[in-house]
Structure 1
């Protein structure tokens, strides 16, 4: 039995599944966007930040949780926009804290501690 070859695309898909708790397979639809993003020069760290942010924003949102998939996240017209959202969070974590609390209807959030946000997003 041959060992499965872990390509950079598969590595990103595995990371996506680990962060989101999903089980997306390495089909053409899931891999093609990842391949394009890697070819454009985005780093694994940048990709991880986007996955983390979209997971925080969408995982518990009934309307958006269906969009938390590799096809949507790595779509040509979306990924650049999501990278810029990560930059907005890094530049203004306090503003994002209010958004996060409102989105999840909780009194305290992981975004309360700026040190945790800095650790997550560099």
Structure 2
């Protein structure tokens, strides 16, 4: 599949990092007239050495993970850079963060912090 891109990896990183589902859908589809048919590549590495799936796995965003998968994101992308731990899959990131109980207490809303939520996220990434 060829990508006709105008959406930079940095832009997509900000959109998924802030979990803005509507914006992510727009840039992944590229159907609005302002984008002239261009769209974001869900498998593009950002300047920091990781991919959109790593970012959303870190934030436990199941809905964003589903959206990225629907638009062709691969669960087999690995981190590559001096500034990050190399060779990590998005699954590694999700499991590592799931093990940090303090992270869960501080960052998940009460709606997200329910039995099975983390397991659902890890299942998606498998």
TM-score computed with the length of structure 2 as normaliser: 0.36
TM-score computed with the length of structure 1 as normaliser: 0.37
